[in-house]
């Protein structure tokens, strides 16, 4: 005969005892928050991923159900949290963004905006971004089923300042990257022009640099040989050799792109 020990039923007192034992492991000045979320091990590889993390964190701190920023010079929104479509497609929101960017006032309006989580936002708060030479725009916050209060306007201004700083940093970083690529491309162009003996080979290499390093869809180089003779344009295909007698063209498209 097998004798089994009676099962001990779990109770709230046992759970409370475990919590007390866990709390006793910390110093008296430190206490653990029950149900506090932990940091997620999220890998950020692009600037867009970083903006997703920024806006999600700011929306959590400010109790927004949706958040995005709109720049007047750009097409659409450069970043958004829990928003499905482009908010600037809504005339009322677009008008509010234009008014806020011009007057530097914070406004609230009512509109039905679908969110990515399936809910419908009914209240929208539009706050101008900080004044900058690089951009002009506004921060757009959304809530579901509850309005924005006066204190929310102060919170929105603080969030807009953080977003403006990060947006300026992103724009400057992108500009520096473009300038480095252009400087490298100019160096490659000069190298091919100075050290390549064959003209056709030099034109082919220069066209390749223009199309790949500068991220162009196509590059065309026209070379005038003589002014005494009327030029007769002749197209040189990328795979051929030799330039025309009067006017030559070198064309190059990046690999993988349609002609």
Quick one: angle between helices 150-195 and 47-62, nearest 10?
A: 170
Q: Measured between alpha carbons, how far is 248 from 205 in angstroms, rounded to an integer? A: 15
pLDDT average, residue stretch 122-142: 91
Q: How far apart, in Å, are the Cα atoms of 34 and each of 19, 22, 31, 38, 115?
A: 9, 11, 9, 12, 30
Strands 219-224 and 247-252: antiparallel
pLDDT band of residue 186 (cuts 50, 70, 90) is confident
Domain 47-177 in CATH 3.30.450.40? The answer is: yes
Residue pair 106/126 in contact (Cβ under 8 Å)? The answer is yes
- Looking at the DSSP bridge assignments, the partners of residue 224 are 247
- Looking at the DSSP bridge assignments, the partners of residue 141 are 67, 125
Query: N- to C-terminal Cα distance for the chain?
Result: 85
How high does pLDDT run on average in the chain? 77
Rounded to 5 degrees, what are φ and ψ at 19? -65, -40
pLDDT in tens, 115-129: 999 999 999 999 999
pLDDT over threshold 60, residue 228: no
Q: Measured between alpha carbons, how far is 105 from 192 in angstroms, rounded to an integer? A: 55
- Looking at the DSSP bridge assignments, the partners of residue 235 are 249
pLDDT over threshold 80, residue 138: yes
Coil, strand or helix: which one is 132?
coil
Is 252 or 101 the better-scoring residue by pLDDT?
101
Residue pair 219/210 in contact (Cβ under 8 Å)? The answer is yes
Q: Measured between alpha carbons, how far is 148 from 125 in angstroms, rounded to an integer? A: 7
Q: Measured between alpha carbons, how far is 107 from 137 in angstroms, rounded to an integer? A: 14
User: How much is the pTM?
Assistant: 0.64
CB atoms within 10 A of CB 74: 13
* Domain boundary assignment for the chain: 47-177, 196-252
Q: Measured between alpha carbons, how far is 209 from 185 in angstroms, rounded to an integer? A: 6
Is 37 or 173 the better-scoring residue by pLDDT?
173
pLDDT in tens, 89-109: 899 999 999 999 889 999 999
Residue pair 160/139 in contact (Cβ under 8 Å)? The answer is yes
């Amino acid at each position: 005969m097998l004798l089994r020990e009676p099962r001990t039923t779990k109770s709230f007192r046992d759970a409370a005892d475990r919590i007390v034992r866990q709390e006793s492991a910390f110093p008296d000045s430190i206490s653990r928050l029950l149900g506090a979320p932990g940091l997620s091990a999220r890998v950020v590889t692009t600037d867009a991923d970083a903006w997703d993390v920024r806006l999600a964190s700011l929306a959590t701190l400010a109790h927004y159900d949706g958040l995005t920023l709109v720049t007047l010079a750009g097409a659409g929104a450069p970043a958004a949290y829990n928003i499905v479509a482009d908010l600037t497609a809504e005339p009322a929101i677009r008008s509010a963004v234009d008014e806020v960017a011009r007057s530097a006032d914070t406004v609230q309006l009512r509109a039905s905006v679908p969110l990515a989580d399936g809910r419908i936002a009914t209240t929208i708060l539009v706050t101008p971004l900080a004044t900058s030479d690089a951009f002009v725009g506004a921060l757009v916050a959304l809530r579901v089923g509850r309005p924005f209060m006066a204190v929310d306007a102060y919170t929105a201004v603080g969030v807009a300042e953080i977003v403006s700083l990060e947006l300026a940093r992103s724009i400057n970083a992108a500009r520096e990257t473009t300038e480095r690529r252009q400087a490298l491309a100019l160096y490659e162009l000069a190298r091919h022009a100075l050290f390549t003996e064959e003209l056709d080979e030099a034109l082919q290499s220069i066209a390749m640099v223009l199309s790949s390093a500068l991220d162009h869809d196509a590059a065309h180089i026209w070379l005038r040989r003589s002014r005494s003779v009327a030029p007769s344009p002749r197209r040189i295909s990328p795979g051929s050799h030799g330039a025309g007698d009067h006017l030559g063209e070198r064309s190059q498209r990046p690999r993988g792109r349609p002609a």
